[in-house]
């Protein structure tokens, strides 16, 4: 296997979501043929959720033994559990509530209305709890599971998960999970995996659409620093693929693009 980056171009957001969904289902068949279970990291955002909806709508959806798939999140907003802006709720509505996945296989971040011990900083407690949950499912000698596929969105500023440009989070090397405060994108408080955890994934799939993402994508592929453009610091162990539409690819050199119409 190689770990070089690839850019796969699609005509529009709908074609992008359908293509990624089909690739994911095929990939899960292969992974579950080779190992007992799979670990998948989900993302939010309109494109990330569109991919999950396309998986749900696929005729191949039920070819997967979902009882052997664990779902995690790259980040989430520190909001009440039922808030429609939470990545967890959006993913449940798009896919997870429609497949036969056991509740214990869904590893969501804590929410702002969860019960916490009196006198405890709730956001820090939630960060520590998720780190412990990762550790509990990790192979010996690691802080987190071996992830088979990690989905990421990319913001117009190049942020991934809740790791923002010129913030300490993108430089974190020891912790597996961080509490994010004063986020430049509301809401201010969030929870996020760190870059080493994301980069430990066998496959990192970045999905993005729209002209507002073109500059960030172009800079990420042109060698910008991870502090300036966090997406530039992301690379999976074996595969790193940018799934993009025509608008998002406007500033990507043609030599890096493979059409996926």
| CATH number, domain containing residue 30 | 3.40.50.1360
The Cα 90–Cα 50 span in angstroms is 10
| Average pLDDT along the chain, 261 residues, taken 10 residues at a time | 79 97 98 98 97 98 98 98 98 98 98 80 96 97 97 98 97 97 96 98 97 95 95 96 95 73 42
- Please report, for residues 30, 62, 147, the alpha-carbon distance to residue 33 in angstroms, rounded to integers and kept in the order given: 5, 15, 16
- The total number of residues shown for the chain amounts to 261
Whether residue 152 contacts residue 217, with contact meaning beta carbons closer than 8 Å, is answered with no
Residue with tokens 């994911």: 24
pLDDT of residue 10: 95
Question: How many domains are there within the chain?
Answer: 1
The Cα 232–Cα 115 span in angstroms is 37
Question: Which stretches does DSSP call E strand in the chain?
Answer: 5-10, 38-42, 69-73, 75-77, 149-152, 177-180, 190-193, 203-208, 239-245, 257-259
Angle, alpha carbons 164-87-244 (nearest 5°): 65
Whether residue 39 contacts residue 74, with contact meaning beta carbons closer than 8 Å, is answered with no
pLDDT of residue 34: 97
pLDDT of residue 2: 54
Instruction: Please give the structure tokens belonging to residue 209.
Output: 């659409």
Whether residue 153 contacts residue 42, with contact meaning beta carbons closer than 8 Å, is answered with no
Identify the bridge partners of residue 42 per DSSP, sorted by sequence position. 73
Question: In degrees rounded to 5, what are phi and psi of residue 54?
Answer: -70, -35
The Cα 75–Cα 177 span in angstroms is 9
Nearest to 50 by CA among 248, 207, 190: 207
pLDDT of residue 4: 73
pLDDT of residue 261: 42
Instruction: Provide the residue range defining the domain that includes 246.
Output: 5-259
| pLDDT tens digits along 36-51 | 999 999 999 999 999 9
């Amino acid at each position: 296997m190689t770990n070089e980056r690839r850019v796969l171009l699609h005509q529009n957001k709908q074609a992008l979501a359908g293509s990624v969904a089909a690739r994911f289902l095929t990939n899960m068949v292969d992974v579950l043929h080779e190992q007992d279970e799979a670990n998948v990291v989900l993302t939010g955002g309109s494109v990330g959720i569109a991919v999950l909806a396309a998986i749900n709508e696929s005729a191949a959806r039920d070819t997967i033994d979902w009882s052997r798939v664990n779902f995690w999140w790259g980040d989430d907003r520190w909001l009440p559990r039922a808030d429609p802006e939470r990545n967890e709720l959006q993913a449940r509505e798009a896919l997870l509530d429609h497949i036969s996945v056991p509740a214990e296989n869904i590893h969501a971040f804590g929410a702002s209305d969860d019960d916490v011990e009196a006198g405890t900083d709730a956001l820090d407690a939630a960060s520590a709890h998720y780190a412990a949950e990762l550790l509990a499912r990790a192979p010996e000698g690691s802080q987190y599971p071996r992830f088979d596929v990690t989905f990421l969105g990319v913001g117009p500023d190049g942020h991934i998960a809740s790791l923002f440009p010129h913030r300490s989070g993108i430089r974190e090397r020891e912790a597996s999970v961080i509490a994010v405060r004063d986020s430049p994108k509301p809401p201010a408080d969030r929870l996020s995996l760190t870059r080493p955890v994301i980069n430990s994934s066998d496959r990192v799939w970045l999905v993005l659409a729209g002209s507002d993402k073109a500059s960030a994508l172009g800079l990420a592929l042109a060698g910008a620093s991870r502090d300036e453009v966090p997406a530039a610091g992301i690379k999976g162990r074996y595969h790193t693929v940018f799934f993009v539409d025509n608008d998002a690819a406007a500033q990507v050199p043609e030599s890096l693009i493979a059409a996926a119409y």
